[in-house]
Amino acid sequence: MKIANLPFGTTDWSAIEPTVHPGTTGHALWRTRQFGDVRVRMIEYSPGYLADHWCSKGHFLLCLEGQLDTELADGRRTTLRPGVSYQVADGAEPHRSSTAVGAKLFIVD
């Protein structure tokens, strides 16, 4: 990732209007900023959320609150708690998220 032509700035995430993204169960609230080719999101998953798709997009993902369970298409599973992150390349390993208790994430992709 190359970040170019981006002056210093701040983001008040509470001022960004969320968009609702339903899962198979539950929903995700996305607050999104786009900086050239870089998308930055603050996402809140409701308790009981299960993604409705396998994702092949690359991300840097940091869990801020709650607990996020991530399943990879090859059967591996991992759990993120506050302060734990994962990273994956575009097209590398399809993954999908779920949470029993809800989660708040910061994602750069």
Q: For residue range 50-104, list pLDDT tens digits in order.
A: 999 999 999 999 999 999 999 999 999 999 999 999 999 999 999 999 999 999 9
What are the structure tokens assigned to 66, written together?
């709650």
Going from N- to C-terminal start, the domains of the chain cover 18-108
Give me the pLDDT at residue 54, please: 96
- Tell me which CATH code domain 18-108 carries: 2.60.120.10
Residue 107 and residue 40 in contact, taking contact as beta carbons nearer than 8 Å: yes
3-state helix, strand, coil in the chain (%, to 5): 5, 50, 45
- Tokens 């993204």 locate to 21
Give me the pLDDT at residue 5, please: 86
- Tokens 């032509």 locate to 5
Q: How many angstroms separate the CA atoms of 45 and 55, rounded?
A: 16
